[in-house]
Amino acid sequence: LGAMAAGDGGRFHIVSPLLESVALSKAAGTKVYMKLENVQPTGSFKIRGIGYTCQEAAKRGCQRFICSSGGNAGLAMAYAARQLGLQATVVVPSSTSPIVVQKLHDLGAHVEICGKVWDDANERAKELAKCEGCVSIHPFDHPLVWQGHASLVRELRDALEAKPGAVVLSVGGGGLLAGVAAGLRDVGWQDVPIVAVETWGAHSLHAALEAGRLVSLPDITSVAKCLGAKTVSARALQCAQELRVVSQVVEDAEAVHAMERFLGEPAGTAGTAAAPPRPRHPPRLSPADDERLLVEPACGAALALLYTGRLRRLQREGRVGAAPLPVVVVVCGGSAVDAAELRALKSHLGLP
């Protein structure tokens, strides 16, 4: 899967694989590389920033980590706490998958369920963090988290000979967006567009960009619960205003359909892709029409942008680089889903 990253704030994460996807390339009309963050030790990119933040807190004498999470951030913190020999409490909303709750228990974390959405759980976590020896680990809104996530872009620079035409990623609270933005600045790629994808009902960044300021959604109605922050971080909005960030929103059904296609359905949209600049270490090709990877709806949102042809439209409009420039899609995670959950999501949305 890759070597454990040393230094760079990355003790707990691996250098994740970068694979060319034939299926996504056909759908997008240009060469697509998948940055497979779903194979991280905790199942998502979150271990990069959360792991680094926990390391730094441990150096200052922290005894217990407190985190509010819809899933992946809590798993990352619980994993880091276990590696460091420290205690962890994760406050999750009632919408959290039972799969995640069980995994948190398995990692030795104390789990408390509070409220309906992440924002409710976060208020409880703030109270718990006031206890002596406790440190609050924010799931997405902290400079150390962004610094840890930036390691993802440095890995892209090391694997690709030239900068990509775009980086496609999902946005929840905005930690990944802020981290990728920091990474692009670090490697001199600040002109590379970031396509920031959300689902309707969890579209706090899109709403903020339309308003020109931070706004809070009345509720999280999307099935992509890992994207469920009513208000995006101020830093994410700042990045979106300063860099080339293209905000896109997809329907829940599109995200879930993308999950299904990524797992095994052929990508049916044909396209001709010119070869990108040759990487120094050419990523392996994935199977032609079948990734056989089960990911969460939050990840499905980013994949949906490619499957639905919207990336092609952005290329035609000149908002992202066209072929032969490759596109990188961050496959952000899949720790909170199984086959039964996918069937339940399809049933809930009335999908065949």
Count H helices and E strands in the chain, helices first: 14, 10
Model confidence, pTM:
0.89
Structure tokens at 49: 């920033």
Q: Select from 3.40.50.1100, 1.10.260.40, 1.20.120.10, 3.30.479.10 the CATH code of 46-136.
A: 3.40.50.1100
> Residue 268 burial (CB < 10 Å; 0-12/13-18/19+)?
exposed
Does the fold of domain 46-136 match that of domain 18-44+142-264+292-349? yes
The number of residues making up the chain comes to 352
Q: CA-to-CA distance for 167 and 221, rounded, in angstroms? A: 26
- Under DSSP, the state recorded for 40 is S
The answer to whether the bond into 324 is cis (omega within 30° of 0) is yes
pLDDT at residue number 200: 96
Contact between 4 and 155 (Cβ < 8 Å): no
pLDDT at residue number 204: 95
- The secondary structure of the chain in percent helix, strand, coil, rounded to multiples of 5, reads 40, 15, 45
pLDDT at residue number 269: 37
Q: Select from 3.40.47.10, 3.90.199.10, 3.50.50.60, 3.40.50.1100 the CATH code of 18-44+142-264+292-349.
A: 3.40.50.1100
pLDDT at residue number 290: 56
Q: CA-to-CA distance for 37 and 50, rounded, in angstroms? A: 14
Listed in order, strand segments (DSSP E) in 114-253 are 134-136, 166-170, 194-199, 245-250
pLDDT at residue number 49: 97
Q: CA-to-CA distance for 226 and 139, rounded, in angstroms? A: 11
pLDDT at residue number 30: 92
Q: CA-to-CA distance for 138 and 64, rounded, in angstroms? A: 14
Listed in order, strand segments (DSSP E) in the chain are 18-20, 32-36, 64-68, 87-92, 110-113, 134-136, 166-170, 194-199, 245-250, 327-331
Contact between 132 and 28 (Cβ < 8 Å): no
Domain boundaries, the chain: 18-44+142-264+292-349, 46-136
Q: Which helix (H) or strand (E) holds 347?
A: helix 339-348
Mean pLDDT per 10-residue interval, the chain, length 352 residues: 42 94 92 96 96 95 92 94 96 89 95 90 92 92 96 97 95 96 97 97 96 94 83 96 96 96 60 43 54 92 96 94 93 89 93 90
Contact between 101 and 110 (Cβ < 8 Å): no
